[in-house]
Amino acid sequence: MKAIVQDQYGSEDALRLREIERPTVGEGEVLVRVHAASIHVGDLLVMAGRPILMRMATGLRRPRQPILGTDVAGTVAAVGSGVTRFKVGDEVFGWTSGAFAEYSSTPEDHLATKPAHLTFEQAAAVGVSATAALQLLRDEGQVKPGQKVLVNGASGGVGTYAVQIAKAFGAEVTGVTSTRNADLVRSIGADHVIDYTRQDFTKGTERYDFILDNVANHSLGAMRRALTPTGVLLPNGGGHQGGGMGRLIRATIASMFIRGQGRPSVKFENAADLAVLAELAEAGRITPVIDRTYPLSDTAAALRHVGTGRARGTVVITVAAPAPGTASQAGAGGAVPALTAGGVA
């Protein structure tokens, strides 16, 4: 099969399109014929092996898993012994290890049934970003109807889901974005848009019940000052180069002493939350925003684009079209309008 392989940590220049062995399917695992994968900032960090501490998990000298990519959508090609939830031919989405390849093997509880009306590209764009947004708003923020939620970095991979999920929870949502993305952020449901090139939300008079910060361009203290007395601030990451770890550690320590400081924590590989996201998508409450799609052979260019920090929504890799006649062939169904970074297509 074809796969994007990295033999060593480094930049996109270290990536190669290669013909390699198809993965086997172990007990409790599902082999997915990958139709689409998507990129999140974590892929850049794994590619670079940064922060260095992360290599304890990913391989000290070189990547233990030479194929990048976690967010995936495709068709079940084989199932291992003990698999009960899926059969060959089922359309699925979720997480794997090694998504930038024609086939990928993953435990069955890392997958959920793909909503029929989402294309494989849309379903592949859900994964990590939507899960992070869901858990941070629901579990950490405990966002309730009528609360005021501010999403800093509302046009990015996490932000576009956070705006939609906060709206689905009944919140009044303010999205912070630049002039060029203001219409996009309004189109996904934000009640108010703050253009950060003209206004600094930390210096305004408005107070928020929950602030989700995807950008890390303000101090934690400045953002906490924009909270209501019972409000919560959650910093989510903070840097495409792996430099945000110190900030997250500071936030975690501060959360033990400072009211309003939330402790960011996300549990991935969680099929229950994939099912929640599928339901939200089925109900039309969330629609993945796709910035651009790239063929598998251009994965390096796709990663470079995400690395600019200017992506709008999620960047998707198309791997292989589903076989003719399958339910979702190339996005058939089309009940959900394609939300692209330029607006509703």
Among 176, 251, 280, 289, binds ligand NAP (CB under 6 A): 176
Q: Which residues contact 259 (CB under 8 A, 6 or more apart)?
A: none
Q: Of residues 31, 125, 158, 336, which one binds ligand NAP by CB under 6 A?
A: 158
Burial 172-196 (b: 16+ CB within 10 A, else e): bbbbbbeeebbebbbbbbbeebbeb
Find the part of the chain contacting ligand NAP (CB under 6 A) among 74-82, 110-118, 156-164, 319-327.
156-164
Tokens at residue 83, please? 């698999």
> Which of 63, 74, 127, 239 forms a contact with ligand NAP (CB under 6 A)?
239
Is 244 a binder of ligand NAP (CB under 6 A)?
Answer: yes
Q: Is 141 in the site for ligand NAP (CB under 6 A)?
A: no
Q: Around 238, how many Cα atoms within 13 Å sit in the side-chain half-sphere?
A: 20
Per CB under 6 A, 103 contacts ligand NAP: no
| Minimum CB distance to ligand NAP, residue 19 (Å) | 31
Which of 155, 174, 299, 328 touches ligand NAP (CB under 6 A)? 155
Tell me the closest approach of the beta carbon of residue 158 to ligand NAP, in angstroms: 4
What is the C-alpha to C-alpha distance for residues 193 and 181, in angstroms, rounded to an integer? 10
Q: How far, rounded to the nearest angstrom, does the alpha carbon of residue 196 sit from its chain's CA centroid?
A: 23
Which tokens sit at 149?
């939620």
Give the whole-angstrom CA distance, residue 4 versus residue 17: 5
List the interface residues with ligand NAP, window 180-219 (CB under 6 A). 180-181, 196, 214-215, 217
Q: Which is nearer to ligand NAP, 47 or 132 (CB)?
A: 132
In whole angstroms, how close is the CB of 242 to ligand NAP at the nearest point?
9
CB-based contacts of 153, cutoff 8 Å, min separation 6:
159, 176, 177, 213, 214, 215
Q: Smaller CB distance to ligand NAP: residue 6 or 236?
A: 236
Nearest-angstrom CA–CA distance, 132 and 141: 12
Which residues does 169 contact at the CB level (< 8 Å), separation at least 6? 137, 138, 143, 144, 145
* Site for ligand NAP contains 342 (CB under 6 A): no
Among 238, 260, 262, 331, interactor with ligand NAP by CB under 6 A: 238
Interface residue list for ligand NAP (CB under 6 A)? 40-41, 128-129, 132, 152-153, 155-159, 176-178, 180-181, 196, 214-215, 217, 236-239, 244, 264, 266, 306, 309-312
